[in-house]
Structure 1
Amino acid sequence: MEAATVVQILVVDDHPLFRDALRGAVAAVLDGAEVAEADGLEAACRVLERQRGTDLVLLDLSMPGVSGFEGLVTLRSRFPRVPVIVISGLDDPRVVQEAIRLGAAGFVPKSFDRPLLAGALQAVLNGEVYVPTASAAPAGGRTSREEGLAARLAELTPQQLRVLQMIRQGLLNKQIAHELRIGETTVKAHVSEVLRKLKVVSRTQAVIETARLDLSALLARDGKQPDRG
């Protein structure tokens, strides 16, 4: 009689307590699973290089040093055969859809219960894509939240829009300064203003809030205006 195949799971999160909680939850719903841990993107890549048999990654979307969906995109490009379930406290339907569009095999909110986690794990291990029912997108038309975001974006100067676009590309302040040929201190000031005007507290939230917007179109619209930045 053949031994049962052991499922190998990698949990990627910068918070030790949440890693422990998620590890325990996985062990409770997936009997016999081997769970490895990584506290960041680079550590996750090292584990995946070392453990080529990893069956599934559970990835925190927001970690220090990782902008927006950068972690997901990196793992999908470097390890395309390993499915990734995004675990995030930001369960806005637009965030869920963007994660799936960028190659996530599933999305689980950090407020998950064990039945939901069990369903997500089984679905993805069976080759399916898992999205919680509560995270389904609204049925069309612009929401009041989207209208509010559009109004806040209208407050950005053309230079601030360029900075926001580069933030979404995952560029660091030093790289943005080089691209725009301005000082790094000026970039920091622009970033602060972008976050303030968008009413978010981090670069990651700015990326997520604007994930489905075409900033290139906005920049083209403002292209003939004087640079107020």
Structure 2
Amino acid sequence: MHVLIADDHELVRDTIAAFLEGDGIQVHTADDLGGALSLIRQKGPFDLVLLDFDMPGMNGLDGLSETIEVNGRNPVGILSGTASRTVAEEALEAGAAGFLPKTMAARSLRNAVRFMAAGETFAPVSFMAQKEDDPAHAFDELLTDREKQVFIGLTKAQSNKAIARDLDLQEVTVKLHVKTLSRKLNARNRTHAALIAKEAGFV
């Protein structure tokens, strides 16, 4: 996997690169949008590009749109240590493959990078929830008790049939709950839903 990280803070850029390289990912770096676009034209397209929202040249989300086009519409995600949830939502609506707060743990960052490179969309519930200081609150607000029970089964990698047996439900009912909770959490599939739960500390 080839990843490009563009961030004007050298320490942040090099730290993230080291995390990913330790996981066998090939990483290139740039310190502004212009440098990132040049690298994409020279060595790209990359499997994933990560752009710092606040670095020179970004001009809000204009830099995101340009990078998506130059990178052949391969995944492009946003990194930020200061952007608000509103900015994150706008980035996702503008086509970002994900939004990564710079406070993410190394393991979570590596998982998110692989997830986005695989074509999925990533945004941690702990950041996107209305009450960001209490990620579990997002699940209390969004999911019914039964959906939470089904969700726990998903985090254990159980099949719908196994979840149905444990909860004494019909398999078709479990399938409906999975579909509903995935929609509520903006999860693309069961794996994405389980990752969301992990990031929010639900399990």
* TM-score normalized by the length of structure 2: 0.60
Aligned-pair CA distance for 1:81: 2.3
Q: Any gaps of 5 or more consecutive residues in structure 1? A: 1-6, 140-229
Shift of 1:91: 4.6
Distance in 1 between residues matched to 2:115 and 2:70, nearest whole Å = 23
Q: Does 1:85 align with 2:83?
A: no
SS at match of 1:123: helix
Distance 2:101 2:20 in 1: 14
Structure 1 residue 66, shift from structure 2 partner: 3.0
Q: Using the TM superposition, give the Cα deviation of residue 8 of structure 1 relative to its aligned residue in structure 2, in angstroms.
A: 0.7
Secondary structure of 2:119 counterpart: coil
Q: Which residue number in structure 2 is paired with residue 23 of structure 1?
A: 17
- Counterpart AA for 2:49: V
Q: Secondary structure at the match of 2:82?
A: coil
Query: Could you tell me which residue of structure 1 aligns to residue 33 of structure 2?
Result: 41
1:10 aligned to 2:4? Answer: yes
How far residue 71 of structure 1 moved from its aligned partner, in angstroms, is 1.6
What's the secondary structure of 2:20's corresponding residue? helix
Q: What is the alpha-carbon root mean square deviation over aligned residues?
A: 1.8
Tell me the distance in 2 between the aligned counterparts of 1:77 and 1:125.
Answer: 16
Question: How far apart are the structure 1 equivalents of 2:111 and 2:83?
Answer: 17
Distance 1:35 1:78 in 2: 18
User: Distance between the aligned counterparts of 1:114 and 1:85, measured in 2?
Assistant: 16
Distance in 2 (CA, whole Å) between partners of 1:98 and 1:14 is: 22
Distance across 2 between alignment mates of 1:64 and 1:42: 8
Tell me the amino acid that sits aligned with residue 115 of structure 1. Answer: R
Could you give the per-residue CA deviations for residues 136-158 of structure 1, whole angstroms, max 9, x where no partner exists? 2539xxxxxxxxxxxxxxxxxxx
CA contact (8 A) 1:94 1:137 kept: no
Give 2:19's aligned amino acid. A
Deviation at 1:121, TM superposition (A): 1.1
> How much does 1:106 deviate?
0.8
Question: What is residue 145 of structure 1 aligned with on the other side?
Answer: none
Q: Higher RCO, 1 or 2 (CA under 8 Å, sep at least 6)?
A: 1
Measured in 1, the distance between the counterparts of 2:93 and 2:19 equals 27
Question: Matches of 1:44 and 1:65 in 2, distance apart?
Answer: 10
Instruction: Provide structure 2 residue ranges, at least 5 long, that are not aligned to the other structure.
Output: 132-203
CA–CA distance in 2 between the matches of 1:50 and 1:82?
15
User: Normalising by the residue count of structure 1, what TM-score does the alignment of the two structures yield?
Assistant: 0.53
Opposite residue 98 of structure 1, the aligned amino acid is E
Q: Can you list the C-alpha shifts for 1:13-50, whole angstroms capped at 9, x where unaligned?
A: 1122221111111123x32x211111111111111011
User: Percent of counterpart pairs with the same letter?
Assistant: 34
- CA deviations 1:29-87 (Å, max 9, x no partner) are x32x2111111111111110111342111110001243211221211233242211111
User: 2-side partners of 1:118 and 1:19: how far apart?
Assistant: 14
The CA distance in 2 between the partners of 1:113 and 1:95, in whole Å, is: 21
Aligned partners of 2:58 and 2:64 also within 8 Å: no
Q: Is this contact kept in 1: 2:50–2:78, CA < 8 A? A: yes
What do residues 81-123 of structure 1 show as CA deviations (whole Å, max 9, x unaligned)?
A: 2211111013522111111011110111011111220221121
Which of 97, 100, 113 is 1:121 aligned to? 113
